[in-house]
Amino acid sequence: METLKVVKIGGNIIDDAKALANFLKEFAKVSGPKILVHGGGKLATKLANQMGVEVKMTNGRRITDAATLDIITMVYAGKINKNIIAKLQSESCNAVGFSGADGNSIVSEKRPVKDIDFGFVGDVKKVNTEVLEVLLENNILPVFCAISHDKKGLLLNTNADTIASEIAIGFSGIYKTELYYCFEKNGVLESIEDDNSVIENINTKTYQELIEKGIIADGMLPKLNNCFHAITNKVAKVCIGKPSMLFSKNTTHTTITA
């Protein structure tokens, strides 16, 4: 079975034009079928502030009202996504930009209101692989932003880590899927002040221990939840670290196991 790499980039890689260009130059050279997923929250926050739209967050998650949805659509599906596509084309890597609405590729439902009303935020219900399979078979790279749809005409803000995880799971019966979360750190760190304190292997048992000790908290919690969701749903390999882990076998990073 052929291997499919699903790669999510975020953090300072997206916000730093030089780091992004360097990543895309190397990523364009990665052989075999691949799918790229990107975030872009910091730029969306910057534009919201410039436009006088209040940014509301809870537990690291963005509250998405109608005005915020307009902004993230412009930023994620517009500026960031098309900038990435253009740079990949300059590296002779043929790519197509996607939101979940394109090709009906990712269907979500609006998150129900429980303790918190997240607004126009979507929880993924289905990844339709058919259109993407055609592109992958023709050596074309799909590039996803963090927006899905509900098939009723509504776009929904959807966590990019979740989109990457669900895409990897959706393809797990078609390819041997590998999921990589790339950001500016070397992996999951034992101490956020020490970039070399990488926890190289995390399984379900050690994950709970790390949570209880307070080593894993805040934004790393939902990321790791997505990792374990993937590894327990037939994704063959899940890693967190710097983009160099894609290009070199000797790069220190964190590997997630069941």
**Has residue 38 got a pLDDT over 90?**
yes
Which domains occur in the chain, in start order?
3-256 (3.40.1160.10)
More confident residue, 221 or 175: 175
- pLDDT class for 22, splitting at 50, 70, 90? very high
**Has residue 219 got a pLDDT over 90?**
no
Instruction: Read off the pLDDT of residues 41-80 as tens digits, 9 standing for 90 and up.
Output: 888 999 999 999 999 888 778 899 999 999 999 999 999 9
**Has residue 174 got a pLDDT over 80?**
yes
- pLDDT class for 191, splitting at 50, 70, 90? confident
- Please report how many Cα atoms fall inside a 13 Å half-sphere around the Cα of residue 43, on the Cβ side: 21
The reported pLDDT for the residue numbered 218 is: 75
User: What are the C-alpha distances in Å from 180 to residues 8, 115, 153?
Assistant: 6, 32, 31
User: Burial level of 164, CB count in 10 A (0-12/13-18/19+)?
Assistant: buried
Task: Assess contact for 178 and 5: CB atoms under 8 A.
Answer: yes
**Has residue 135 got a pLDDT over 80?**
yes
Q: pTM to 2 decimals?
A: 0.95
Instruction: Read off the pLDDT of residues 136-171 as tens digits, 9 standing for 90 and up.
Output: 999 999 999 999 999 999 999 999 999 999 999 999
User: What are the C-alpha distances in Å from 150 to residues 136, 157, 162?
Assistant: 24, 11, 16
Dihedrals phi, psi of 72, to nearest 5 degrees: -70, -30
The residue-averaged pLDDT of 185-197 equals 88
* Crossing angle between the packed helical segments 160-170 and 220-231, to the nearest 10 degrees: 0
The token pair at 251 is 């790069």
Mean of per-residue pLDDT scores for the chain: 94
